[in-house]
Chains A and B, each alone.
Chain A
Amino acid sequence: MARAATTTDAFNAIAEPSRRAIVDALGAGERPVNDLVAAVGLTQPQVSKHLRVLREAGVVDVRDEGRRRLYRLNPQALKDIHDWVSPFQRLWEERYAALDDVLAGLKDSTSTPQPQGDDQR
């Protein structure tokens, strides 16, 4: 189940913290490299290197607008990651939905008077 140590896969591409910072910065919309340099606090060559990895993994797309190169997220790559996590999320949501019911019961038992003079614990 361990994935091959390749950066051509979206999961490995975003495993690197700087690349996740770039993905976060692109969450606000399409941006040129200089914007990203300012947003993530790395040098321009470092950001360019990470962008190349993210492009190869299909996490970001690039397009030319005049002399500028604009980078943006590719939603499909992020959806793959979301799809991988979501069954685990569902398990916890079901567990926590059951916990909601338990808490509702506890609130009822602590907020109403105890006519039998039961121990409040």
Chain B
Amino acid sequence: MKKTASPKKTPRKRSAKGGRKPWFWKLFVRLSLIGLVLLAGWTVYLDAVVTSRFEGRRFEVPSRVYARPLELYDGASVSAGALERELELAGYRGDGSGAAGTYRRNGGQFRIHTRGFRFNDGEEPRRSLSLSIFGDRVQQFAVVEGPSSPIVRLEPAQIGGIYPAHNEDRVLVELEQVPELFRNTLMAVEDREFYDHFGIAPLSIARAMLANIRAGEIVQGGSTLTQQLVKNLFLTRDQTLLRKGNEALMSLLLEFHYRKDDILETYMNEVYVGQAGTRAIHGFGLASQFYYGESISDLAPHQIAMLVGLVKGPSYYNPRQNPERARSRRNLVLGVMAEAGLISEQEASRARGQPLGVTGRASWSENRYPAYIDLVRRHLARDYRQEDLQSEGLRIFTTLNPSIQYAAEFAVSDTLNSLDERVEGKLESAMVVTSRDSGEVLALVGGRDPKFAGFNRAVDAWRPIGSLVKPFVYLTALQNPDQYTLVTPVKDEAFSLVFDDGRRWQPKNYDGEERGEVPLHRALSRSYNLPTVRVGLDVGVEAVKTTLQNFGMTGDISEYPSMLLGSVAMTPVTVAQIYQGLATSGFNTPLRTIRQVTDSGGEALTRYSLKVEQVADAAAVHLVQYAMQEAMQEGTGRSAYRTVPEELTLAGKTGTTDDGRDSWFAGFSGDLLAVTWVGRDDNGPTSLSGATGALPVWSRFMSRVPQHGFSPVVPDGVEYHWVNSEKAALTDEHCENARYMPFIVGSEPDIEATCGGSIERRLRSWFEGVFE
């Protein structure tokens, strides 16, 4: 609202002497007239202020950001601990009272009473669910009460909001949604004559004074609800007589123009009822969610009493911080309710015995996931204006998976703490986790302190990706099966390139060794540099660049050969994007953080649908996936299995840049794709490689999430053969060095290398045959 400069005062001049001379009367009448005109003018001005503000009384309602809803069904992948965290994040209470929004846990057994939620694609009604969790999976899932269904979505937890500049947060309610008891209690406590007065009530001021004196403390305030509303809507907090005058005048004007119900409704949405960090909680709609995780229409008498009682002093009577004070205030209000005949004396005394019952903490704390919300905001900025996000009460349904986020944050901070002991300089890290087949961003960590809303490394740290580029070099090569297969021998020998301008480039292996000739699959799984550059130069830097672009790399890529060893810079999110295609047999899936945006009424505004686009030959990608699995089992990624369960098959790639400035790991299981970066903000050297910096973070994360192993479906046109990869020859299963490897049909070796074959080996092979 526009504030006026201090208003002109009615000129008041005292006549110097008591003499009643005609000139005095003349002056008096004139001054009075001027005064009246000014007052009238002032009133007209105030009237304009009151009406324009109240007419256009569209509260700015922040957008709400939700996590993905948890789907519960037989076989759903969730640990008992994760389910419990998830329930608490959504504001469920574990008191087992059986009310909506509560749950009871007994070991792995859960009984959950959902509140129901209106999703845009259909309603999830209230239900009681029974399930048990065994081996991190949901079993014996059953709907005990409510419409039955083999799969049920919990209400999504709110994980953040996009607030107007003044940080006011509210959930608008209409008067009809507010229980009658609530309205009557509010009036009984704050303004008994609300429906009878005309904005100000001198009598009730007197009565309030009397009541306060009797009670020995302030139980009633003298201002009407209208005056309180005017104070909140139009006036500053300073207590001046002038302000009091304005308040009274504006209250009268408000009452003159508007219906009582409109005024009451606005009051209920405006009233200040608490604070969460920098976020101001306004209105009873949000208050009931903020304190009880309930909708205002479901409140019990003791909860109504608490919320109404809070109006008098939201921080003084804060039930989370000052439970005793809050309880006595609540019970006092219950007394007022009984006295006014709103509830019976028995009901009041029963309600007095109730615990305060506020949710442990606000159902979500502000900016719990700053890095993730940051990415959400950037995605929203493509389609929405900032002022609409801050004021239109939009609902933004994201893809954040709180359990995965929790595991990722933990893996980053815990591993970095242990790395600190071994590494100089302040290490930082970032992590992105996506769903392998849908491209949904499930978790994002922007730094080692996940609560810190600062530099978001996952999105903004452009760092050379080192050997993470190698799978794309070999993929480009393997798309020509006539020239390259997994067993093609490639030279691991030093060489130097001389450019036109005379500069020389002499790539080296990480360990400085040279091995003569190695089969291609080993060159990739061991991340040898020399063979990679040779292969890359053979297929052409330009072709590798095209592959990267097809997989979703945007921005400039240098065409210097050093690009083949990853001199190209990317952010962790970009790496996750280009690895999506590698993880899914060549289908590029755009990364998404938002499934849908709806308006405040739940109508869909924008959907961000799953899209896939084949960008590479599935057969060639399958071969690269083989080598990336080999990297985990025998190559640069094998130390992951110090932490990860043996059964979890994984595929991945390390990346290291000069002097350990960047330590990368990117890899995937059957369900998840994760990218980790570790390094220093000042780009200083570290003693880390991809395997000793980023990989420990990655594997600690993977070990903590229940999931399926990576096991790609063999695509059309690929066959497996037993080969001796050193000799690039077909061989027998029982021979030494025999590997069962995929080939694009027709590209398998045409020479054979048989072995003598001991009895023992033949026997073993026979045994295996029996059990296959």
A complexed with B: no
